[in-house]
Amino acid sequence: MFTEIGNAIAQAATIVILRHQNPDPDAIGSQTGLATIIREAYPDKTVYTPGVTQAGLTWIGEMTPVNDDVYQNALVIVVDTANTPRLDGSPAYQQAKQLIKIDHHPDVEHFGDIVWVDDQSASCAELIYKLTLHIPALKLSKRSAAALYAGIVGDTNRFLYDSTTADTLATATALARTGINVSKISHHDYEITPQTARLEAFILTNFKLTDTGLGYVILDRPTLKQFNLKKGDLDNVVPLIGQISTVSDWVVISEQPDGRFRVNFRSKTVSIEPIARKYGGGGHPLASGAYVKDRATVDALLADLNELNRQA
């Protein structure tokens, strides 16, 4: 498998690296970290990293737009994305000469000519690092290590989540040995904007806690508007309710401009991924997401989570 990936990269003159919508540090870190690794190994290749720019994550890496006609002769590498509807990119990616999927989510949609999925890995960034161990042409540099370390820190919540393994820590150690400033990266990941701080205060004041240990907050459009949030700010508050000792699992529910509700699921022990999947989403056992069509569906989802807790 590593030989196949290495050969595909070596033979492609143009490479487009895609990741999921609403990117987190792991998506950006894996995408831009891999792009840096390939550019440094093959300076003559053209490597694109398209997607919506997330203002709060530009410190990890920059996006580079790509025209649709480029895909026809390109190798497309999709990172940190379980299913194609979540891709942040033009449908023109389907015209690619070859497509590689590298991901650590459950393989809910098996797409691509070459597929490497390891759902036991805490982050996709760890898988990108492993490419440098098994493909001789690909080398790790301080610049690429910084992006990958940011991805690991983000997806493990600074090594808090139980998805963190000895392999995760060994990878982080190897990245740190390149000389990157791990403290600076962690501070970047930890920092929040003033508007996010005010939103956190609102959530702590207004969240609900059921008798089964389910914590939740529903943020409608008028509420969100008063905080003047930038894209990505809301993602920073998702772990907050989980800091409360009596909460076993929790959801942050936010109304979207189109009237749908985005649901961020988190849990300390019980797997909430089946509930996310039931409502058209998915992810990891303890961290998942979904979009639901209306408030009635939100209420049904909360009832299902409560019942899940009762049966656990």
Q: Is residue 45 helix, strand or coil?
A: coil
The reported pLDDT for the residue numbered 65 is 93
The reported pLDDT for the residue numbered 161 is 84
**Tens-place pLDDT, residues 140-183:** 999 999 999 999 999 998 898 889 999 999 999 999 999 999 99
User: Which residue would you say has higher pLDDT here, 53 or 125?
Assistant: 125
Which of the four pLDDT bands, split at 50, 70 and 90, describes residue 54? confident
The reported pLDDT for the residue numbered 157 is 86
Q: Encoding tokens for residue 8?
A: 């595909």
Least confident interval from 83-97, 116-130, 296-310: 83-97
Instruction: Indicate the pTM of the whole model.
Output: 0.86
* Among the listed residues 301, 283, 280, the one whose alpha carbon sits nearest the alpha carbon of residue 291: 280
The reported pLDDT for the residue numbered 235 is 85
User: Which residue would you say has higher pLDDT here, 150 or 228?
Assistant: 150
Tell me: pLDDT of 55 over 80: no
CA gyration radius for the chain? Answer: 19
Q: Which domains does the chain have, with CATH numbers?
A: 1-190 (3.90.1640.10), 194-311 (3.10.310.30)
The reported pLDDT for the residue numbered 211 is 97
Cα separation, 87 vs 207, in Å, equals 31
The reported pLDDT for the residue numbered 160 is 85
* Among the listed residues 190, 180, 121, 191, the one whose alpha carbon sits nearest the alpha carbon of residue 157: 190
Q: Encoding tokens for residue 171?
A: 């990878």
The HSE-up count of residue 127 (CA atoms within 13 Å, CB side) is 26
The reported pLDDT for the residue numbered 273 is 93
Q: Assign 3-class secondary structure to 137-155.
A: CCCCCHHHHHHHHHHHHHH
Least confident interval from 3-7, 105-109, 202-206, 302-306: 105-109
